[in-house]
Amino acid sequence: MVAKSSPDSNRSQTLDRGLKALSLIATSHTPMTIDEVAAQLELGRSVTYRMIRTLEDHRLVTRDPSGRLSGGTQLVALAGSVRNDMQAAAAPILTQLANTLEMTAFLVVADAQEAVTVQVVEPTSTTAHVAYRPGTRHPLDRGAPGIALLAGLDPQHGERNEVAAARSSGWAYSEGEVIQGMASIAAPVSTSDGTAKASLAILHLALSLNSAEVAPLVIEAAKALGLELS
C-alpha cells in the first residue's frame, strides 16, 4: 500500500524559505538585518544566515558595510525587460540632467564591495560625449559614484577622507580613478527616511569639467530621485 503524499511533499521547503527571505528583503522599505529577517520568517539565525549567504553568492541580495541587507543587482537582470521602480523614476531625471549638461548621466547602486552602473543616459543635444555602459563595476571606495554611495551611509571606521568630505558637501568628485582621463561628479540618492538607495553621477573629460557649475545640478537631480523613491 502506498502512503498518500502530504500537500507539500512535492515542494522544496528550503527553496520556499529562500524565496520568502528574498521577497522580504527586496520589498522592504529599509535595509534589513539578518536578525530581522530571521524574526520575520520565524527561523533560527544560523538557518537564515546560510540562506542569505547563498542569495549573496547569486547577487540576489547585497550587504552594505553596516551589515544590512537589500536586493542585489542580479534582480535587475532577472527582471529582463521589466523596469524596476528606481530605474523608471530615474529615467526622466537622468535624461534632463544629461541634456542640460551635455554629459553622460548614470545611476549606480552598491553590490557588496562594488559600485555597479545600472542605468545610463547619453545626451541627445550634442554630437560629442563620453559613452558608458550599464553593468560597469568598480570598487566601492574608488570613483565618485562609489564615494557618494558610501557618503550616504553612516561614517565607517577607516573610510577615505573623500567619503567624509562628500558626506559634508553632498557630492563627490573623482578624476582618473575608474577611467583614465575621465572625471566624475556624483551625489547620493537617499529617501526621506535617510536610507541611501543609489548614487547619481555624470562623466566627462577631466580637463573640461567645471565642478562648481555641475555639482549643484547633480545634487538637485539626486534629491529629486530620492523624493520620487520616498
pTM, rounded to two decimals: 0.65
Q: Is 16 helix (H, G, I), strand (E, B) or coil?
A: helix
Asked whether 28 and 40 are in contact (CB, 8 A), the reply is no
Task: Cell 537589500: give the residue.
Answer: 70
Q: What is the mean predicted confidence (pLDDT) over 164-184?
A: 91
pLDDT for 78:
64
Would you state the pLDDT for residue 138? 87
Give the pLDDT band of residue 6 (cuts 50, 70, 90). very low
What integer best gives the mean pLDDT of the chain? 85
Q: How far is CA 170 from CA 111, 159, 174, 189, 224, in A?
A: 22, 16, 14, 10, 14
pLDDT of 180:
85
CA–CA distance, 163 with 152 (Å, rounded to integer): 9
If one compares 199 and 129, the residue with the highest pLDDT of the two is 199
* Alpha helices (H) along the chain: 13-27, 34-41, 45-57, 74-79, 85-101, 144-151, 161-169, 211-229
pLDDT at residue 76, as a whole number: 64
Average pLDDT of span 81-110 = 86
The lowest-confidence range among 42-51, 66-75, 180-189 is 66-75
- Count other C-beta atoms under 10 Å from residue 173's C-beta: 20
pLDDT exceeds 50 at position 3: no
One-character DSSP codes across 147-213: HHHHHTSPP-TT--HHHHHHHHHS-EEEESSSSTTEEEEEEEEE-TTS-EEEEEEEEEEGGG--HHH
Structural domains for the chain: 13-72 (1.10.10.10), 82-229 (3.30.450.40)
